[in-house]
């Protein structure tokens, strides 16, 4: 495979040529303003920050196509930018790159209640989509913590607290409109629930982190709002008991809507940050049950039995919509709560996932690793999927970062040894590059590189992300 690195010397000149033409075509929708570029120079949480040459605000598929045609012609890199909530350095531009912001593409293009699907522009957030769907009795369930765009969520194959019941973006995207590196527009998939024709290009682009094409429209599966929703929490003196409870709930086949864990470090932070003053700083499971009343009663009864057998303390119920919203908001704000423990600290989040039967072993091992590291860390996560985060807090210095990364690597090594993955939902970006070969093997990685070289032979789409040691942009 050829290495298509850009010629180094004239990269600034090529970016300038592109910029002049972009300004002529897009006017004020091209910005070199320092604060706009700064906001597009990094994502959340991690990693390097680098200013783009300019930010272009797209409003249509045609805009995206025009930008890519131009950048392809001049070999200028392009980084798609949704809401910038990704946490692994995904949106940090290489030098002399265009950050292509899709957040103004927010139209709901069609809603088909009879078929439980809809088509939206990629810059729409899932929160706004759900507000717009309110009168249809339908909703879109994938709920990462940040105010992410649906295009960004496709690109990172995102999930969230409801994945245990409804699946991730992988299961909830039916089709896409994608602009390829050379500006060509293609549609993948469609509206049907299954099809056995051709390669599954939709799945190829879902999770491709803006490295194979830029998604401009998404056909989504929708779900009926359940007849009844009930949320509860149960606290535990012992983390292992809480994890065992979650595992047994899944193994028993309880169709639980959400089961989320926060350990005592995270709970102490969230009690203070989110005002959960009625709770103790003890390991806690957050549950949501959904369905017809009879089904909910049965799910609750089995779950309470399992929790009791694992030494759970009493169940506390959140029956009103407001109380439920308060609990889930506290869960979604967990990262910010941990950050508030010491606002000057750096917080690094792991994202391991293992087959559910190995989860308790992994978390026990992670606890030992945290203790040995001398660092403070909170454990929380989507334990019903076998996925959890360790929020490692460290001083904001190179030495502190190195200690946190050392702990991160130990945790990932444990997960991989148990047949797991280094990332259940956040993706690779820059932060997880080093683990890809161990996780997938050299053969699979070389197939991924061949796909990248075919779809983006000049390597202009988010170069340097997702694939380690692939064609590296050196502009």
Ligand X SMILES: Cc1cc2nc3c(=O)[nH]c(=O)nc-3n(C[C@H](O)[C@H](O)[C@H](O)COP(=O)(O)OP(=O)(O)OC[C@H]3O[C@@H](n4cnc5c(N)ncnc54)[C@H](O)[C@@H]3O)c2cc1C
| Binding region for ligand X (CB under 6 A) | 43-44, 79-87, 90-91, 102, 122, 144-146, 148-149, 151-153, 155-156, 158-160, 209-210, 214-215, 335, 425-426, 462, 465
Q: How far is the CB of 379 from ligand X (least distance, A)?
A: 15
Tell me whether residue 454 is exposed, middle or buried, using C-beta atoms within 10 angstroms of its C-beta: 0 to 12, 13 to 18, 19 or more. Answer: exposed
Whose Cβ is closer to ligand X: residue 221's or residue 426's? 426
100 three-class SS: strand
Q: For ligand X, which is the closer residue by CB, 56 or 296?
A: 56
**Smaller CB distance to ligand X: residue 83 or 234?**
83
CB closer to ligand X, 150 vs 300: 150
Q: Which is nearer to ligand X, 66 or 425 (CB)?
A: 425
Give the ranges where 277-358 is alpha helix by DSSP (H).
293-309, 321-332, 334-341
CB of 168 to ligand X, least distance (A): 8
The secondary element (H helix, E strand) that includes residue 274 is helix 264-274
Torsion, Cα 178 181 85 111, to 10 degrees, reads -10
Count CA atoms within 13 Å of residue 123 on its CB side.
16
- Considering beta carbons, is residue 181 or 407 the nearer one to ligand X? 181
**Minimum distance from residue 23 beta carbon to ligand X (Å):** 23
Smallest distance, ligand X to C-beta of residue 142, A? 8
Contact 78, 6 (CB under 8 A): no
Q: How far is the CB of 389 from ligand X (least distance, A)?
A: 8
User: Cβ closer to ligand X: 368 or 454?
Assistant: 454
- Quote the tokens at residue 453: 């070289």
Q: Which two tokens stand for residue 178?
A: 């994608």
CA–centroid distance for 433 within its chain: 16
Instruction: Say how far apart CA 318 and CA 23 lie, in whole Å.
Output: 53
Q: How far is the CB of 246 from ligand X (least distance, A)?
A: 16
* DSSP 8-class letter at 384: G
Q: What Rg do the C-alpha atoms of the chain give, in angstroms? A: 22
**Min. distance of Cβ 380 from ligand X in angstroms?**
10
User: Which residue is nearest to ligand X, using beta carbons?
Assistant: 152
Angle of helix 239-251 versus helix 359-373 axis, rounded to 10: 160
């Amino acid at each position: 495979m050829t290495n298509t690195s850009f010629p180094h010397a004239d990269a600034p000149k090529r970016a300038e040529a592109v910029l002049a033409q972009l300004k002529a075509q897009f006017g004020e929708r091209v910005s070199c303003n320092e604060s706009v570029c700064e906001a597009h120079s990094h994502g959340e949480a991690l990693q390097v920050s680098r200013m783009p040459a300019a930010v272009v605000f797209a409003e249509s598929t045609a805009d995206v196509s025009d930008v890519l045609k131009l950048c392809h012609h001049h070999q200028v890199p392009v980084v798609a930018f949704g809401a910038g909530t990704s946490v692994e350095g995904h949106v940090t531009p290489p030098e002399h790159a265009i950050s292509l912001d899709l957040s103004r593409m927010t139209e709901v293009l069609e809603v088909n209640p009879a078929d439980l699907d809809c088509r939206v522009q990629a810059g729409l957030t899932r929160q706004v989509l759900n507000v717009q769907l309110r009168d249809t009795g339908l909703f879109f369930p994938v709920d990462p913590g940040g105010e992410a765009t649906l295009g960004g969520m496709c690109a990172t194959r995102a999930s969230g607290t409801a994945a245990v019941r409804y699946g991730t973006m992988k299961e909830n995207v039916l089709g896409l409109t994608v602009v390829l590196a050379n500006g060509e527009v293609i549609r993948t998939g469609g509206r049907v629930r299954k099809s056995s024709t051709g390669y599954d290009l939709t799945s190829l682009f879902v999770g491709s982190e803006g490295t194979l094409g830029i998604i401009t429209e998404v056909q989504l599966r929708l779900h009926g709002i359940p007849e009844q929703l009930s949320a509860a929490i149960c606290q535990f003196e012992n983390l292992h008991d809480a994890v065992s409870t979650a595992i047994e709930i899944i193994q028993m086949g309880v169709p639980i809507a959400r089961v989320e864990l926060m350990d005592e470090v995270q709970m102490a932070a969230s009690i203070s940050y989110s005002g959960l003053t009625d709770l103790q700083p003890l390991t806690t499971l957050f549950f949501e049950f959904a369905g017809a009343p009879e089904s909910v009663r049965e799910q609750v009864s089995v779950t309470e039995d399992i929790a009791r057998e694992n030494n759970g303390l009493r169940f506390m119920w959140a029956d009103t919509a407001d109380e439920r919203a308060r609990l889930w908001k506290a869960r979604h704000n967990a990262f910010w709560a941990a950050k508030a423990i010491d606002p000057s600290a750096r917080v690094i989040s792991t994202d391991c996932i293992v087959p559910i039967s190995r989860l308790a072993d992994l978390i026990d091992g992670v606890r030992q690793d945290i203790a040995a590291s001398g660092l403070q860390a909170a454990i929380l996560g989507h334990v019903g999927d076998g996925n959890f985060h360790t929020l490692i807090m460290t001083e904001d210095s190179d030495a502190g970062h190195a200690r946190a990364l050392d702990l991160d690597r130990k945790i990932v090594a444990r997960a991989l040894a148990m047949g797991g993955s280094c990332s259940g939902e956040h993706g690779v970006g820059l932060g997880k590059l080093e683990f890809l070969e161990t996780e997938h093997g050299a053969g699979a990685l070389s197939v991924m590189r061949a796909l990248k070289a075919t779809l983006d032979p000049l390597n202009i789409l988010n170069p340097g992300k997702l694939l380690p040691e692939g064609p590296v942009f050196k502009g």
